[in-house]
Amino acid sequence: MSPTLILINPWITDFAAYDLWSVPLGLLSLAATLRRRGYDVHLIDCLDVHHPGMERGGKAVPPVRRAYGTGKFWRTEIRRPEPLASVSRPYSRYGISRHLFVESIESIRKPAAVLFTSLMTYWYPGLQEAVSLVRSVHPDVPILLGGIYARLCSDHAATYSGADRIVPARSGADLETVPGLLEEMGIPLPSRRTAEFPPYPAFDLLHRPESISVATSTGCPYRCAYCASPFLQPSFTQRPVSSVLEEILHWRSRLSIRDVAFYDDALLIGAKEHVHPLMEALSEQAPDLRYHTPNALHIREITASTARLLYCAGFRTIRLGLETSDTGLRKGMDRKVGEGDFERAVERLRSAGYGRREIGVYVMMGLPGQSVESVERTLCAVERAGAVPYLAEYSPIPHTPLWQKAVRTSKWDLREPLFQNNTLIPCWDDEKRARVPGLRTMARAVRRPRRGEGGGSLGRPRH
């Protein structure tokens, strides 16, 4: 009999959360790897908005779903963690109910191990709660923890998560080491492998997926001071175009999805050899699908031909990573946008057929040393260029070049992951934070439809 494994995507615990194609892609990739190795794999996704058990009612606030497979999560207000007690905002657990989670754990008999993923560092209270509940049901079963929090705050995770072992997987290739780790812990390898399951992330384990997410590459060649991608995935590699195309077409046929979100940090790098042929193939073989780029496109890589292909292939959600138009501030952060690059990129997208409100631009707010006026000037620059801005609050991330400056700037001790929460805007002082509502009002005013405009835009993922 094959060993039974439970894979868990834990709750989000935060002041706010929004579902922008928020699937645990790494965990689903691990599920695919383990199934093909012969393990009996069960998935519990605490963020599952379509879990049939939630239809029985309860205290959670039902999620409102919106365009393209996005929307809200189930939400239950909970007590704020002690370090955040002074923050006067409601704090919630996002996802399925505790009762349904325990019920799901109890339904799986004699698991050999439980494997958790983790996402944002400041969401660890939801992970702690889920680990504790697993312990109460299966007290002697080993628990392994991987994911972003486990990588960025490994010492904290080892001390406070409750897991028995931290798994430092960084890429798809590292997933192949997990069976060896399980064997080291006394869990025998399955007697045979199986080709029954496809090699793609196991979206079929989700309840009624509205969309799929695809990564055509790992890592990023840019080394931005605020981004942890170089630490999490040090090398930049791209998948064969044929593999990506086959994956999208497989799930289009199997799940009848219409929306595909690209999780790449650098989708347009080497575009002529990579994404151009992919977009051409998608235009021919999947013209009914809609594509989205929530992680932002690199502005410098948007040529006139790239803009036309994006439009013709059906890319509906275009997001550009401007961050700031302040050249003095940018010098210490990144080298991905030069003078005039942003305006040219927007002009090319507009010429290709995109309307103003279809071109969303991420503007970072709350950076160490950044002024409120700098953000205002960037919002004005976005409006002048003919696009719309989305404010993205800066989150201090360990192992990034900007981390030490953030630690010196913040009034909070950022070694506590809860204080890395971007909702706090932890690297601005009280005077600057008091002006944040004005910046939000300004950004909304720029996004507001103008006479003769149609359509709408979607917003920014919280990370």
| DSSP state letters, 301-334 | G--HHHHHHHHHHTEEEEEEEEE---HHHHTTT-
Give the C-alpha separation, 141 to 159, whole Å: 18
> In the chain, count of helices (H) and strands (E)?
16, 16
What pLDDT is stored for residue 457 in this prediction?
Answer: 43
| DSSP state letters, 92-157 | EEESS-HHHHHHHHHTS-S-SEEEE---SGGGHHHHHHHHHHHHHHSTTS-EEE-SHHHHHTHHHH
Are the C-beta atoms of 33 and 189 separated by less than 8 Å?
A: no
Q: Average of pLDDT values for 357-373?
A: 97
What pLDDT is stored for residue 173 in this prediction?
Answer: 55
Is the four-CA dihedral 244, 199, 32, 100 of positive or negative sign? positive
Helix, strand, coil % (nearest 5) of the chain? 40, 15, 45
Per-residue pLDDT reduced to its tens digit, 90-104: 999 999 999 999 999
Identify the weakest region by mean pLDDT among 144-153, 253-262, 324-333, 399-408: 324-333
Are the C-beta atoms of 63 and 18 separated by less than 8 Å?
A: no
Give the C-alpha separation, 65 to 101, whole Å: 22
What pLDDT is stored for residue 454 in this prediction?
Answer: 59
Q: Which CATH fold would you assign to the domain 4-184?
A: Rossmann fold (3.40.50)
Per-residue pLDDT reduced to its tens digit, 95-153: 999 999 999 999 999 999 999 999 999 999 999 999 999 999 999 999 999 999 999 99
| Interacting residues of 242 by C-beta distance below 8 A, sequence separation 6+ | none
pLDDT at 463 over 60: no
Q: Average of pLDDT values for 331-349?
A: 94
Would you give the DSSP letter of residue 271?
T
Per-residue pLDDT reduced to its tens digit, 392-403: 999 999 999 999
What pLDDT is stored for residue 404 in this prediction?
Answer: 97
What pLDDT is stored for residue 259 in this prediction?
Answer: 97
Identify the weakest region by mean pLDDT among 338-342, 347-351, 448-452: 448-452
> 3-state class of 358 per DSSP?
helix
Regarding the domain with residue range 210-447, which homologous superfamily does it belong to in the CATH classification?
Aldolase class I (3.20.20.70)
pLDDT at 455 over 60: no
What pLDDT is stored for residue 76 in this prediction?
Answer: 95
Query: pLDDT-derived band of residue 172, with 50, 70 and 90 as boundaries?
Result: low
Q: Is 366 exposed, middle or buried (0-12, 13-18, 19+ CB in 10 A)?
A: buried
What pLDDT is stored for residue 168 in this prediction?
Answer: 73
Q: Both tokens of residue 416? A: 């506590």
What pLDDT is stored for residue 456 in this prediction?
Answer: 45
Q: Where are the domains of the chain?
A: 4-184, 210-447
Beta bridge partners of 333: none
Residue 445 host element (H or E): helix 436-447
Q: Average of pLDDT values for 356-380?
A: 97
